[in-house]
Amino acid sequence: MNNLMQRFRFFMQDRYGFDQLGFALIITSLIISIISSFIFEWHVRLVFRLIDLALLIIAVIRFLSKNIDARSRENIKFRTVWGKISGWFKFQNRRFRDGQTHRYYHCPSCKAQLRVKNIKGKHTIRCPRCGTQFEKKIR
């Protein structure tokens, strides 16, 4: 067993390995595979299976690649895009949770999202980013 592990370590030496993009490709492949199992039309199922197989092949190629710089750049781009997407969903979740207690407004100057307590009346809101003050009426 120890000899097998040494061979695997030697084989993986100077290879890229596993990262967030590889994980996302495998999870996406798994989801597509599950969805395709519920499809009864053979030609649609075939398309889903081919996409599933292509994603798995790409993940394995990235895992075994020796071009570490290119794979790192791909992963950085993926993390940048994924960070924006997940940040948007986190913000929507927070906005939904705060729906009863807070209101959200955009600053007229810098377009920043501002969170204001939901208290009825006329309020002067100051943007912490640019310092602009503007008035909003909460009903």
pLDDT in tens, 44-102: 999 999 999 999 999 999 999 999 999 999 999 999 999 999 999 999 999 899 888 99
The answer to whether the beta carbons of residues 84 and 92 sit under 8 Å apart is: no
Closest CA relative to residue 118, chosen from 134, 137, 96, 135 = 137
Residues 92 and 115 in one domain: no
Residues 105 and 92 in one domain: no
CA angle 73, 52, 77 (to 5 degrees): 15
Closest CA relative to residue 138, chosen from 111, 118, 110 = 118
Report how many domains make up the chain.
2
CA 102 to chain CA mean position, Å: 26
Predicted pLDDT at 118: 87
Residues 87 and 113 in one domain: no
Looking at this protein, which amino acid is placed at residue 68?
I
Residues 59 and 79 in one domain: yes
What is the span of the domain harbouring residue 8?
2-97
Closest CA relative to residue 36, chosen from 47, 24, 23, 27 = 47
Residues 112 and 71 in one domain: no
Confidence of residue 14 (pLDDT cuts 50, 70, 90): confident
Residues 65 and 84 in one domain: yes
Residues 19 and 77 in one domain: yes
Residues 84 and 124 in one domain: no
Percent residues over pLDDT 90 in the chain:
58
Residues 36 and 24 in one domain: yes
Q: How far is 32 from 49, CA to CA, in rounded Å?
A: 8
Residues 78 and 108 in one domain: no
